[in-house]
């Protein structure tokens, strides 16, 4: 299976899986890059998966559905381009010969879902939309810090080898913040240099893996003493796990 991040807008990726014949896309905010790729490679679109309602993830859905007839899946609790099949945590989507388990990951939006395939060419694969980014997490537009922390805990419990397919190339900016929070983390500074050279060659920093994220992502590490201390330095009230996480998110917003 080929796993391809199609660049869209300034920093989005539309993830596309294909086996040389059929294809699946995730969060097509724009139809054109997908249509161009399908045509160039001679692929038939078989499924469109959507993680949440923001236009940079949904605006290409109607055009792709009309052009290809591909079925669409998306979250139950959000406004979506109809028609689609709505799915929620614990449901499964079968597409392109793969089985995706749906996980509820509210926080960025109230009904945000993720798609998890536990076996794809030897390792799991996760489409997590705007919930988990490499070195960061989504902004809390509709959810609370407690919800986002719980959602990230759910994702962090997946196998370490899970490939993390996020919808934005935010890695370098996230890592600059992460290094401010955790200046003594050597894995983090090494990863930053590796990502810098990838970006200089205009290559994606994604997919990441959960093992790596657990080493470098402050939003997956917020309970560690060094991060609790850093959060409290930003906000003296942030003494418990949830408020420390919320303080980190707040700090990132104004970083
Ligand atoms: Zn979003
Ligand atoms: Fe987005």
- C-alpha–C-alpha distance, residues 195 and 233, integer Å: 28
**Residue 50: what pLDDT?**
98
**Residue ranges of the chain whose pLDDT lies below 50:** none
Distance 54 CA to ligand 1 centre (A): 5
The catalytic residue among 18, 53, 54, 112 is 54
Distance 184 CA to ligand 2 centre (A): 30
The catalytic residue among 18, 53, 108, 112 is 108
The answer to whether 118 is a known catalytic residue is no
The answer to whether 56 is a known catalytic residue is yes
The catalytic residue among 18, 30, 52, 112 is 52
Distance 101 CA to ligand 2 centre (A): 21
Residue 159's DSSP bridge partners are none
The answer to whether 53 is a known catalytic residue is no
| DSSP class per residue in the chain | -EEEEEEETTTEEEEEEE-SSEEEEE--S-SHHHHHHHHHHT-EEEEEE--S--HHHHTTHHHHHHHH---EEEETTS--PSS-EEE-TT-EEEETTEEEEEEE--SSSTT-EEEEEEEETTEEEEEEETSEETTEE---SSS-HHHHHHHHHHHHTS-TT-EEEESB--HHHHHHHHHHH-TT-HHHHHHHHHHHHHHHTT-----EEHHHHHHH-TTTSTTSHHHHHHHHHH-TT--SHHHHHHHHHHHHHT-
The answer to whether 57 is a known catalytic residue is yes
The catalytic residue among 18, 27, 30, 57 is 57
Distance 167 CA to ligand 2 centre (A): 6
Strand 163-166, strand 123-129: pairing = parallel
The catalytic residue among 18, 56, 104, 112 is 56
Global pTM reads 0.98
**Residue 148: what pLDDT?**
98
The answer to whether 112 is a known catalytic residue is no
| DSSP class per residue in 160-181 | TT-EEEESB--HHHHHHHHHHH
The answer to whether 92 is a known catalytic residue is no
31-to-17, 38, 165 alpha-carbon distances in Å: 15, 11, 19
**Residue 77: what pLDDT?**
87
Q: Give yes or no for a contact between 238 and 247, defined as CB atoms under 8 angstroms apart.
A: yes
């Amino acid at each position: 299976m080929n796993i391809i991040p199609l660049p869209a807008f300034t920093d989005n990726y539309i993830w596309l899986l294909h086996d040389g014949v059929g294809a699946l896309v995730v969060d097509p905010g724009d139809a054109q890059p997908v249509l161009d790729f399908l045509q160039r490679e001679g692929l038939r679109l078989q499924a469109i998966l959507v993680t949440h309602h923001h236009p940079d993830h949904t605006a290409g859905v109607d055009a792709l559905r009309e052009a290809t007839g591909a079925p669409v899946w998306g979250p139950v609790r959000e406004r979506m381009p109809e028609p689609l099949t709505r799915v929620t945590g614990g449901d499964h989507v079968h597409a392109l010969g793969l089985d995706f388990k749906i996980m509820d990951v509210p926080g960025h939006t109230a009904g945000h879902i993720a798609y998890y395939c536990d076996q794809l060419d030897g390792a799991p694969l996760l489409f997590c939309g705007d919930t988990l980014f490499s070195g960061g997490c989504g902004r809390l537009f509709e959810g609370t810090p407690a919800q986002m922390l719980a959602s990230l805990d759910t994702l962090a419990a997946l196998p370490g080898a899970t490939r993390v397919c996020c919808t934005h190339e935010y890695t370098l900016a996230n890592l600059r913040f992460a290094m401010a929070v955790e200046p003594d983390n050597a894995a983090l500074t090494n990863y930053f240099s590796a990502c810098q050279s990838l970006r200089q060659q205009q290559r994606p920093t994604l997919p990441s893996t959960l093992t790596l994220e657990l080493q470098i992502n402050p939003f997956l590490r917020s309970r560690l003493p060094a991060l609790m201390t850093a959060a409290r330095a930003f906000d003296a009230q942030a003494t418990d796990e949830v408020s420390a996480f919320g303080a980190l998110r707040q700090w990132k917003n104004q970083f």
